[in-house]
Amino acid sequence: MDQEVLDWSASRVVAAIRQNKLSAQEYMRETIARIKDKEPSVRAWRCWSEPLAMEKARRVDAGAREGLLAGIPIGVKDIIDTVDYPTAYGSPIYERHQPTADAACVALLQEAGGIVLGKTVTTEFAYFQPGPTANPHDVAHTPGGSSSGSAAAVAAGMVPLALGSQTAGSLIRPASYCGVWGYKPSYGLFGLAGVRPMAQSLDTLGVLARHAEDLGLMARALIRGDRLGTNPEQPLSIGVCHGPDWAHAGDDTARALDEAARSLSRAGVKVSTLELPAPFMQLTQAQRVIQAFEAARTLTAERLAQAGQLSPSIRQLIAEGLAHSEQEYIDAQGLAAQCRQALDELFRPHDAILAPSAPGEAPSGLEATGDPIFSRLWMPLHLPCVNMPFERGAHGLPVGVQLIANYLCDGRLLGIAAWAERSLDIRVRPV
């Protein structure tokens, strides 16, 4: 067996393991060989264990083959608690922190037969201060953040699936930069017990994968469900939305959005222009206020006791949050609530919205993680979003577009993503 198996979807790997056509140990050995080959340049992992991973794969082969994720190696963002590995939240303050219980999401994935291979690099407290991870497509460029390691590990073929999270643009942006599928579910759909908080009314757990069908597989495991990701009803209607931050879109993003709309139209989708109501124009700023206000309070213990170990970017975020008045926060939350009430009417003629994922290709350098501008708008709306890897920019790096559905219409959105992957012949192979 060669490493071609690493190009398979997780769904196909699980089927092969169940049918005794592939052993979990064989698949894990190929996975580990890939990590050893790619990790020195990509640096996606904070920690991982070959003996532990192989022992868990042996247990699958010994009889635990029926789980939804049986034998699948999974990367876990290092803001998510794990018993088997330290969890540092990307901060030197917690360098030696060893959780005594798994996060709920980790427990659910393991219950489904998934194998937590290790912890992937995150930015400090899932904000802006980057770790060492590089973009597998070009290691001189950022992979994005804060789910840096998870996106890079999936893109490089080191795991087929990984957990990330998003408060502003921490999952969709790195998925776009690294050229993989990324799924940010409806707010509250995935439990956050054991996940380090940043801003409680925005934080959302998510999934990164190279195959759209695997997003639904992970979603079903994380809610113990059986419906997410089924085929969507046809014909489909999609509204193309530039949004209030379109001025930040570079030529590569504008071209990708335009070509995605044309490709969907050729595939039989009814495509039309969607204009957001006037109140939505202020949501990007509302998201900034909400995130800063809540994060400043979440980080109170660190601010009071260990401020010297916080990065300048985190200290600035805290200062901004403390400077916002209670009324500013309430007004921002009120605007978000007002806009959420308009969503049913907004989506009435559309199954999904097509919008930018990021301003363009991944910026050069590893000192910053890029601009989350095109995800901020959707976060206070609590909507499910999927990055669709679609184009290449002027420098040959990936450029994605974003599909967005109404609140709790995750099943429809995941079905549309899987349909688009097949109908538009989107193929994401390990870099």
Residue type (1 letter), 318 = I
From residue 109, give the alpha-carbon distance in Å to each of 1, 242, 315: 27, 36, 34
Catalytic residue selected from 146, 150, 165, 311: 146
Catalytic residue selected from 170, 311, 357, 375: 170
Gap between the Cα atoms of 351 and 279, Å rounded = 22
Gap between the Cα atoms of 190 and 79, Å rounded = 15
From residue 69, give the alpha-carbon distance in Å to each of 60, 74, 108, 259: 10, 10, 10, 34
In the chain, how long is the greatest CA-to-CA distance?
62
Gap between the Cα atoms of 230 and 226, Å rounded = 9
The DSSP bridge pattern shows strands 237-240 and 45-48 to be: unpaired
Cis upstream peptide for 312 (omega within 30°): no
Catalytic residue selected from 77, 119, 147, 165: 77
The DSSP bridge pattern shows strands 385-392 and 181-184 to be: antiparallel
**Annotated catalytic, 170?**
yes
Gap between the Cα atoms of 115 and 127, Å rounded = 27
In eight-state DSSP terms, residue 141 is B
Q: Could you tell me the strand order of the sheet in which 398-404 lies?
A: 45-48, 115-120, 73-77, 161-166, 204-209, 181-184, 385-392, 398-404, 352-356, 237-240, 270-273
Catalytic residues: 77, 146, 170
